[in-house]
Amino acid sequence: MVIYGVALLAICTLAGVILGDLLGVLLGVKSNVGGVGIAMILLICARLYMQKRGGMSEGCEMGVGFWGAMYIPVVVAMAAQQNVVTALKGGPIAVIAAIGSVVICACTIALISRTNKGEPLPEEDEPVTQPPVIAPTVSPAGGR
């Protein structure tokens, strides 16, 4: 059912917010640091884990796929609300967090792509060539 996909998203979002808050406390920042990104990574990992174990029905996968696609606009909207200039004036922690999140995401994508080989693409048949279309000719005298 689609509701299971939403439930999985909710669990990953809550875990991401909690981990983002803990990361903020560890870094000495009074805000959530990367909670949405952490939630997205958790959602990807949970989806892959459930697919390998056969625990994801078609409806659940549709729900996860829909909300996974909705995450991109949510992240863009959340980033648009933050004041980047104030964050950079506050110290190097914003730059360190940005670089760290990019490195962690790149490593996670590399790890997922190495562990999840997927199915090879089917071989393509030879392309069908269409005979050239010859347009009818019309004489300049109007066909007389």
At 75-129, the pLDDT tens digits run: 667 666 666 666 667 677 777 887 898 999 899 988 888 887 666 666 766 665 6
Domain coordinates in residue numbering, the chain: 2-115
What is the Cα–Cα distance from 39 to 71, expressed in whole angstroms? 10
Q: What is the pLDDT of residue 76?
A: 66
Q: What is the pLDDT of residue 72?
A: 66
**pLDDT exceeds cutoff 70 at 59:** yes
Q: What is the pLDDT of residue 32?
A: 80
At 15-57, the pLDDT tens digits run: 988 998 898 888 887 778 888 788 888 888 888 888 788 777 7
Q: What is the pLDDT of residue 104?
A: 93
